[in-house]
Structure 1
């Protein structure tokens, strides 16, 4: 065994868990998935109707929760338990949206290849591909997963490949809500909801971590990158959290929770955790490398 191989074997394994929309991508891509099906089903209800219904439900939800949030902020009692309760309360809103999609069948009659091809039109944030490929090709024992509430694994895979991610060399697991496909190879128009709210994403990351722990016989360093409140529990539970972009909502929640960016925190977890606020991916490699040395 060479010295380099021995050194790699001794290093702590690394888990990179990555949100997709607005974390890797420069814009939300759910509409791209819907438009792919719309071209096959022009007679079906326009996707904007589903967006409008979702917005109405979300406004109603926030109107109901705004007084509670304001009260807790005034008293200084916003804590992790309250945040988790708030994020879980979004489940009926998200489930209702998916139910509407399923009832109207607007995602029907598309092949996996067509969804993958649509993903090739997606543009990643500058530096995101460089970040992923760096850890694919580095000497660390690195396992990577994409954890997304998006509607098509094939679409995500197509976007990864088109943006230059070395999916051939890197083992990248994709966890997302996915279409059901019939014996003809066409989508049935029904989604199988697996990732709906923040809790679901956190459970996927924990499961992936357990797999890597069993594989290597020791706990990995878990890095999670996300951009929204739906990512916050996973960001806070990771050894290293990377809050990407300038979405004000997760920044507000961190302020209410008393979480300081770039400051090591010790909670009930075995190891300390730290959350970084990064405007872009430019400093992400150096940030993670600093925790691997």
Structure 2
């Protein structure tokens, strides 16, 4: 049993796409390439792989089944990366190209203020399956989010002259492809956080975030993703309003309790 006041949150880990951003940003990143019009074809092929995998997997009766399903999505991701690399989609891309398109990213209202209200001692990290950590960093800078954020995401690979080789890190060891990769990384953060007597909060919006949401001391669902809510209902995961968490002097959470909280806007999330 863990007693946790919100003021004890010492590590905040956030998803990127559709949690911090208004919409998914991969199509924006594609604009950095020489031929953005090709991107829709890669998306269609990826979705076809996903459907074939889902159809072949069978029923997911338990949360453990769901985790196995998420882990198995790696094969779809590997195929997607192989197509992207073979076609040389990111070949010739420059750092300036990435910084240019990052200016198109729309950050959710209230996020900048949320950052400013975080205590200086709170460690902050963005954990994403996005293809480019540089893209995320540039988008934050454009939004004048000046706090120091650790960006843990995949990378577009460059040569010594700063030109894209066409390779990406997503298919390499340590790549972040699925929700189970997010879980692996989050669990590596928990031990050090607890040793210092702190608590870790994870905030995310989709099924990819579910393993990390449940592993965190405090898991916060951002927004109203219908698919994620259906998954929570199916596996007996209770979702409460973030205001209920704020109203308590402390939180008592057992790891087995499967309780998450929901916030629909950044202004609701106050760590005081």
Q: 1:64–1:102: structure 2 CA closer, same or farther, 3 Å change rule?
A: same
Q: For the Cα contact (< 8 Å) 1:223–1:242, is it kept in 2? A: yes
Deviations 1:101-157 (A, max 9, x none): 11111011122232123212100111122212211xx25x21011011111111101
Structure 1 unpaired stretches of 5+: 1-10, 73-77
Corresponding position of 1:283: 268
List per-residue Cα deviations over 1:238-284 (Å, max 9, x = no partner): 1111111121111111111111113854235xxx7741122222211
Conserved in 2, the CA contact under 8 Å of 1:237 and 1:273?
no
Report the CA distance between 1:210 and its aligned residue.
4.2
Match of 1:227 in 2: 205
Cα distance in structure 2, aligned partners of 1:145 and 1:242: 15
Task: Give the conservation status (yes or no) of the 8 Å contact 1:116–1:156.
Answer: no
Conserved in 1, the CA contact under 8 Å of 2:129 and 2:177? yes
1:260 aligns with 2:244: no
For residues 15 and 273 of structure 1, the distance between their equivalents in structure 2, rounded to whole angstroms, comes to 20
Bigger radius of gyration among the two: 1
In structure 2, distance between residues paired with 1:257 and 1:265? 18
Deviation at 1:209, TM superposition (A): 3.6
Aligned residue pairs total 252
Q: 1:66-124: CA deviations, max 9, x gaps?
A: x513xx2xxxxx2x312211111211112211111111110111222321232121001
CA distance in 1 between counterparts of 2:204 and 2:24 reads 13
Alignment of 1:183-202 (within 5 A): 183-193=160-170, 194-202=175-183
Matched ranges for 1:1-293 at <5 A: 12=8, 14-37=10-33, 41-42=34-35, 46-65=38-57, 67-69=58-60, 72=61, 78=62, 80-135=63-118, 138=119, 141-166=121-146, 170-193=147-170, 194-210=175-191, 212=193, 217-262=195-240, 265-267=253-255, 274-285=259-270, 288-289=271-272
Distance 1:238 1:88 in 2: 19
Report 1 or 2 for greater relative contact order, CA contacts < 8 Å, sequence distance ≥ 6.
2
> What is the CA–CA distance in structure 2 between the aligned matches of 1:116 and 1:201, rounded to whole Å?
25
Distance 2:9 2:218 in 1: 14
CA 1:147–1:165: 2 relative to 1, 3 Å: same
Q: Which residue of 1 aligns with 2:247?
A: none
- Whole-angstrom CA distance in 1 between matches of 2:198 and 2:94: 37
* TM-score, normalised via structure 1 length: 0.79
Shift of 1:211: 5.0
* Structure 2 spans left out of the alignment, 5+ residues: 1-6, 245-251
Contact 1:19–1:231 at 8 Å: present in 2 too? Answer: yes
Aligned counterparts of 2:23 and 2:9: Cα–Cα separation in 1: 31
Displacement, 1:160?
Answer: 0.9
| Change in 2 beyond 3 A, CA 1:99/1:282 | same
